[in-house]
Chains A and B, each alone.
Chain A
Amino acid sequence: MVYRNNSVDTQIDVTKNIVVIEKLNKSFLFNRKKRLILSNINFNIKEGEFICLLGPSGCGKSTLLDMLGGFTFPDSGNVIVNNKLVKKPGPERGFVFQKNSLIPWLTLEENVGYGLKLKNESTLLIKENVDRFMRLVGLENYSNLYPHQLSGGMQQRGCIIRSLINNPKILLMDEPFGAVDAQTRTLLQEMLLEIWRKVGTTIIFVTHDIDEAILLADRIFIMGVNPGHIKEIVKVNISRPRTFKTSLDPEFQVSKIKILESIREETLKIIK
């Protein structure tokens, strides 16, 4: 990876890495005092990978995702997605937020089609695509409802396909299933895996739920605290397709214990 000049794309070596983060540091001002949030983050993510960022609250995992989304910027270092330096938010990097973020004054259908409407696509094409994606997540009967008429799980499914319809290079997900109940969450996780298998987008998924991370990810980036850093990268070797039964897999238990120990150390640091 040779990175020279952010204004000339051609000088960047084309690699299979869809995401490259190099020597990233980020600090915030707290009561006029600078506090380091993320320190010396380096990692690469290959195209099509499913990555989970796992860590206790306050480790900076959401901030890292925000920087990939282009909502905030590092103090130093580079955030490169698809060989381009991230400078602002854009549809090529889909973002699914933690809170329900369907636009309240648009119906579900209008929400899902909003990205295509912004590209001035024809009504027919928008309709076709919206229908296809709605069927993919089983929302086809709810197109004309407003967000407040939908359940939390339906809303998050809507948010996911609203991002995917733009055909993004990566999908960034910030604890998207944090607010739904446990049963729905399992179903949503399976559904997400199914969509990922069909669409093949690279996914970066932030969570603090260890089981969720093991079920979903190819690799889990475990983050440490004070300041936030990548503590360990754990490869999950459980075969796919994975379902709710995967949690009974011996490999699952092995990974879980390993990760628990690693995370426990960090959580203790916060409590003390």
Chain B
Amino acid sequence: MVVSFIPKIANQKQSTKKQTLLLYELIKNYSLSFSRKLISLLIFFGVWHFLCTIDFNFGINFVFVPTPIEVINAFFQFINDSPLIHIKASILRVIGGFITGSIFGIILGLFIGSSKLVEDLVSTPLELLRPIPAVAWIPLAILMFPDAESGMYYITFVGAFYPILISTQKAVESTLSDRLMIRVGQSLGANQLHLFTDIVIPSSLPGISAGLVIGMGNAWFCLVTAEIIAGRFGIGYKTWESYVISEYPPIVMGMILIGLLGSLSSFLVLKFTNSLMPWREISKNGL
């Protein structure tokens, strides 16, 4: 949008009055958007509470679903009861899986996307393994890895790896199918290596970024699955354990906590990757 353009060029020429007007406009837009989001959240919790209090049971049964207030109570109990050890364990598992997934996914994706030879050599077994859900990996993860911890890393890795791999591969392929930027590089004297580092990789970054955001989400998806094999700690473990001992509010608390941490980390990934791409112009009003 123009916003990125204004501070650089038009600044000197604009009067301060115009600038304050612009700032006011920006704040107005942000607060409007923020209040819309707040309202949507309130409605969500309101509907949930309402369905619980009337014991809604029509196709879907809300009788056993804890109310938002019970969940909040469970949350405070969790906070008072050494929560960091669980949160830390889970975050480490997610980040570990995500980082290894990113490294393998991006590198393999770049090579598969740009070389027919590599694609032929490695993509068939990868495609065979791709549809296997994380849950199905549990027995092998227990058998293949020396301890439960590395098995859990493996499961979050599987979740993160595939979306990153596929997005990277597709992004590279679409860069290569539009010859323009490649031709520009060639006509300026770029060799194969330059084309790869200066053209193919930056041009694929938006696609890779999307893969990283989805991959981060998927790693959290797989957390509960992974922590089924956990011995003692983890938010996913806590959620599963509460189900086993029929204590319902902590289940929902665990779900919400995973949702929160998941969206927060996806947001951070998005912010980080966007900071790598200052050249991009994103305007959703311009559709």
Q: Which residues of A contact B (CB under 8 A)?
A: 69-71, 88-91, 93-95, 97, 99, 101, 103-106, 114-115, 118-119, 144-149, 162-163, 166
Contact = CB atoms under 8 A, between A and B. Distances in A.
B277 interface: yes
Given A97-B180, A101-B180, A162 B202 contact: no
A106 B184 CA distance: 13
A207 B203 CA distance: 30
B187 A105 contact: no
A14 B5 CA distance: 52
B81 interface: no
B194 interface: yes
Most buried by A among B179, B189, B203, B205: B189
Nearest to A95: B187
14 contacts: A69-B183, A69-B187, A70-B186, A71-B186, A88-B186, A90-B187, A91-B189, A94-B187, A101-B181, A101-B183, A104-B279, A118-B190, A146-B278, A162-B188
**Chain B binding site: helix, strand, loop or mixed by DSSP?**
helix
Contacts, number: 72
B193 to A, nearest CB: 11
Interface residues of B, number: 26
A95 B199 CA distance: 17
B189 A119 contact: yes
A146 B4 CA distance: 10
Given A145-B8, A149-B4, A89 B186 contact: yes
B120 interface: no
B183 A118 contact: no
A144 B278 CA distance: 12
A114 B278 contact: no
A242 B205 CA distance: 46
A97 B184 CA distance: 8
A119 B199 CA distance: 17
A118 B188 contact: yes
A202 to B, nearest CB: 16
Given A101-B184, A114-B188, A146-B281, 11 more contacts: A88-B186, A94-B187, A95-B184, A101-B183, A115-B188, A118-B188, A118-B190, A146-B279, A149-B8, A149-B281, A166-B189
A114 B184 CA distance: 11
A89 B187 contact: yes
Contacts of B183: 69, 71, 89, 95, 97, 101
Contacts of A119: 189
B180 A105 contact: no
Contacts of A99: 180
Interface in B188-216: 188-190, 194, 198-199, 202-203, 205
A93 B202 contact: no
Nearest to B181: A103
A69 B186 CA distance: 10
A149 B184 contact: no
Contacts of A105: 202-203, 205, 277, 279
A114 B190 CA distance: 9
Contacts of B186: 70-71, 88-90
The 5 A-B pairs at the shortest CB distance, nearest first, are namely A91-B189, A89-B186, A95-B187, A115-B188, A105-B202
B233 to A, nearest CB: 43
B189 A118 contact: yes
A145 B6 CA distance: 11
A207 to B, nearest CB: 19
B124 to A, nearest CB: 29
A103 B189 contact: no
Nearest to B276: A105
A90 B181 CA distance: 14
Contacts of A97: 180, 183-184
Nearest to A162: B188
Contacts of A93: 187
A146 to B, nearest CB: 4
A89 B195 CA distance: 13
Nearest to A96: B187
A163 B279 contact: no
A90 B188 CA distance: 6
Contacts of A89: 183, 186-187
A69 B180 CA distance: 13
B187 A91 contact: yes
A77 B118 CA distance: 36
Given A95-B183, A97-B184, A103-B184, A148 B279 contact: yes
Interface string B250-287: 00000000000000000000000000011111000000
Contacts of A69: 183, 187
Contacts of B188: 91, 114-115, 118, 162-163, 166
A205 B257 CA distance: 63
Contacts of A106: 279
Nearest to A142: B9
A15 B212 CA distance: 57
B209 to A, nearest CB: 13
Nearest to A66: B183
A90 B129 CA distance: 43
A239 to B, nearest CB: 33
